[in-house]
Structures are given as structure tokens and as C-alpha cells.
């Protein structure tokens, strides 16, 4: 049995929103992280996405990109909401850093250490570190450590972490909008969202705006446009929440539109952001009483995501098994890492950013 969730998406009262966890968002984040692991298992094994379940339906899509898009849609909604509730720059940055940086740093360093020791790499592995490693970690990107896994298709110690730098830059864009007072005119956010969606869907426009130098600092512009577009769409669902109505028929229509868009690769990503975003926030607007017991359940989604890659790398190296065997084992092990990360890294850090709120889960 379900009922409308009282705090999403149209109730503007921040005090009420802060007393509830949205359990659908918790489950969706875990599901998106699991999609990334399910995508990486065959890709790490084969060196390509040919056995990715979603890639078989659409050449421009993978379950990994689907999961990352979902993360950025949810993040856009929640981060814009966070600024609107507490529009203070220092407070905002403190919260964002405490939420994302400690877990990233531990995952980056642990992945670098574990894979360097457990998978044969270049001789004297730890003597091959250069300035690119600390710079990549400082920028919250995928650690640029010496390559590991000779004979494997991928040699990065943690290839999942590349999205963290894009997400943090989106946080900074929200802060820029806020301190410039641009959230008073939400239509400006909407205009930028349309621009990002247009560039994301247009390879000629991407080539026109393309740059090829200083990737370590700027990152790949193609990913920048696409991931920012998903984030900004999520922000639109918050900023224009009073104008958006959710209905089961519209939710079904949105799901069908995403299914049809699989046959049109050029438009799929934008349709996924828009129609998939509608379906996503429709699901989060419904409160399921059966999920009330999740109040004390730890949020393992971040840890599940950041540890999935190194765990799968190690399993592939030692087991040499089918990706469909690697995935469930990696999911269980990464979930354990997520539990540890939540209880001993993320949760303690969250205590520093919370002044007065509902009890922390689990």
C-alpha cells in the first residue's frame, strides 16, 4: 500500500522535509550503484560493452551510464534543495565536502594500495608514482596511479571515481548560482539546462565547443556537458516543483518514452534525463509504508559505488570467472565495504555537518 509522500515534491516546508528520509531515494541510489557494477563486470572482463544488458538494446547506452545519470538527477534535485534551505556559502561547502570527500579519499587510497599489492603490476610499484597522482586525487578524479593487472583490459586502480570530480563541480556551480542571486530567477537555470541538453545531444555542437588540452584540470568536455545536463534537469525538478504534477498515467508514459528512445540512440540520453527524470521523481513522490522500517538502515550507496571497481578487478584477476558470477560476489563484498564506509567514514563526518536533525540511520 502506498500514499503520497508528504514532503515531495511540492511541499516547500523545509522543517517538515528534514524530519523524513525518502526511502525511495535510498533504494534508487543503491539500485543505480548496482547497475554500475552490473555494467562493469562484463566490460572489465571483455574490454568492451558488448555484453552489457542495456547496450544490447541501444548502442549509445550502458547500464553504467544509466546508473550514473540516475545519481546525477537525484543529486541535482537534492543539492539545489540543500542550497535553497540553507543559502550560506561556507555552510554549504562544508556540508558538501564532508559528504563526499572523506569517502572518496579513503576509497582512492585504499584502491591504490590494495590493487598495487594484490595484483602484479610494474616492478617497484610504489616508486613509479608521479605528480599526476596527487593532482588527480586533489581534483577528486580517478587516481592516476601506475597501471595494474598486466594482461587485463583495464589497468586503473579505481575507474569508477572519475564521476566524483564532475559531481563536485556541479556543487560549485550551484554555489555560484546562489551567491550571484540567480536562483531568484529560476528561468536562468532552465535556460542553461536546455543549452546543456542541446549540446549533449548534438555531436556537431560538441565539436564546435570542444577543447583538447588540460584534461586533468578541465576533464573531458563531452562528459562535462552530459553529466551537467542530468544534474541541471534534477535541479529543475526541484526549482519548478510547484508547477509539476505527478500522475500514474504520465509516469507510465514517461517509462514508455524511455523505452521507445532506445531505438533512437542520438536522442536517448536527453529522453532519459527528461522522461526518466519525471519517472524517477514520480517514484520518490510516493510514500510506501512498507519502507518505513528503513529509517535505521545505513546508506551504503556511496560505498557500494566507489568500491565496486577495485573489488571486481580483484575478482576477475583471481577467479577468471564469468562476469555473471563476478557480479553477485562483487555486489555482496562491495555492499559490506559500503556498510563499513557508512559507519566509520561517512556517518562520523555527517555528524559535523548536522546541527539538529532526525537521528542518523543505522
pLDDT (0 to 100) of residue 309: 98
Whole-number Å distance between alpha carbons of 202 and 196: 10
Alpha carbon distance 116, 91 (integer Å) = 37
What's residue 296's pLDDT?
72
**Three-state secondary structure call for residue 21:** coil
Nearest in space to 107 (alpha carbons), one of 137, 132, 128 = 137
Strand ranges (E), the chain: 2-4, 286-288
Residue 358: count of CB within 10 angstroms of its CB: 11
Regions in the chain scoring below 50 on pLDDT:
1-19, 216, 356-362
Residue 272 is predicted with a pLDDT of 94
- Cα gap 278→190, rounded to integer Å: 15
For the entire predicted model, the pTM comes to 0.89
In whole angstroms, what is the distance from residue 317 CA to residue 321 CA? Answer: 9
Which ranges of 210-300 does DSSP label H, i.e. alpha helix? 215-218, 221-239, 248-261, 265-271, 277-284
Beta partners for 133? Answer: none
Of residues 132, 145, 108, the one with CA closest to residue 310: 108
Please compute Rg for the chain using Cα positions.
Answer: 20
Cβ neighbours, 10 Å, residue 314: 20
The domain spans of the chain are 2-353
Residue 218 confidence (pLDDT): 54
* DSSP assignments along 125-174, one per residue: GGG---THHHHHHHTTS---PPPB-TTSS---S-GGGHHHHHHHHHHHHH
Q: Are 77 and 238 in contact (CB under 8 A)?
A: yes
Q: How far apart are CA 31 and CA 42, in angstroms?
A: 18
288 — phi, psi (to 5°)?
-100, 120
Amino acid at each position: 500500500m502506498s500514499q503520497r509522500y508528504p514532503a515531495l515534491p511540492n511541499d516547500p516546508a523545509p522543517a517538515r522535509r528534514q524530519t523524513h528520509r525518502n526511502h525511495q531515494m535510498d533504494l534508487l541510489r543503491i539500485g543505480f550503484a548496482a547497475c554500475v557494477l552490473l555494467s562493469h563486470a562484463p566490460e572489465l572482463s571483455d574490454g568492451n560493452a558488448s555484453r552489457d544488458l542495456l547496450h544490447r538494446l541501444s548502442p549509445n547506452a550502458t547500464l553504467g551510464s544509466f546508473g550514473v545519470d540516475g545519481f546525477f538527477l537525484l543529486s541535482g534535485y537534492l543539492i539545489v534543495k540543500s542550497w535553497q534551505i540553507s543559502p550560506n556559502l561556507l555552510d554549504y561547502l562544508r556540508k558538501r565536502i564532508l559528504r563526499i570527500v572523506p569517502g572518496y579519499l579513503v576509497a582512492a587510497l585504499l584502491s591504490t594500495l590494495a590493487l598495487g599489492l594484490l595484483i602484479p603490476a610494474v616492478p617497484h610499484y610504489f616508486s613509479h608514482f608521479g605528480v599526476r597522482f596527487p593532482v588527480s586525487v586533489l581534483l577528486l578524479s580517478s587516481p592516476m596511479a601506475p597501471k595494474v593487472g598486466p594482461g587485463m583490459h583495464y589497468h586503473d586502480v579505481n575507474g569508477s571515481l572519475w564521476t566524483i570530480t564532475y559531481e563536485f563541480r556541479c556543487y560549485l556551480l550551484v554555489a555560484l548560482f546562489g551567491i550571484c542571486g540567480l536562483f531568484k530567477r529560476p528561468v536562468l537555470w532552465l535556460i542553461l539546462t536546455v543549452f546543456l541538453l542541446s549540446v549533449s545531444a548534438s555531436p556537431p555542437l560538441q565539436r564546435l565547443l570542444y577543447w583538447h588540452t588540460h584534461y586533468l584540470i578541465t576533464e573531458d568536455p563531452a562528459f562535462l556537458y552530459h553529466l551537467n545536463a542530468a544534474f541541471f534537469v534534477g535541479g529543475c525538478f526541484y526549482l519548478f516543483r510547484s508547477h509539476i504534477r505527478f500522475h500514474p498515467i504520465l509516469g507510465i508514459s514517461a517509462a514508455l518514452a524511455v523505452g521507445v528512445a532506445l531505438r533512437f540512440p542520438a536522442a536517448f540520453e536527453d529522453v532519459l534525463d527528461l522522461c526518466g527524470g519525471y519517472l524517477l521523481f514520480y517514484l520518490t513522490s510516493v510514500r510506501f509504508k512498507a519502507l518505513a522500517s528503513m529509517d535505521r538502515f545505513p546508506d551504503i550507496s556511496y560505498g557500494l559505488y566507489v568500491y565496486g571497481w577495485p573489488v571486481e578487478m580483484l575478482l576477475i584477476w583471481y577467479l577468471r570467472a564469468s562476469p555473471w558470477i563476478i557480479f553477485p560476489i562483487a555486489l555482496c563484498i562491495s555492499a559490506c565495504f559500503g556498510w563499513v564506509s557508512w559507519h566509520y567514514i561517512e556517518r562520523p563526518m555527517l555528524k559535523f555537518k548536522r546541527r539538529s536533525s532526525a537521528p542518523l540511520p543505522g
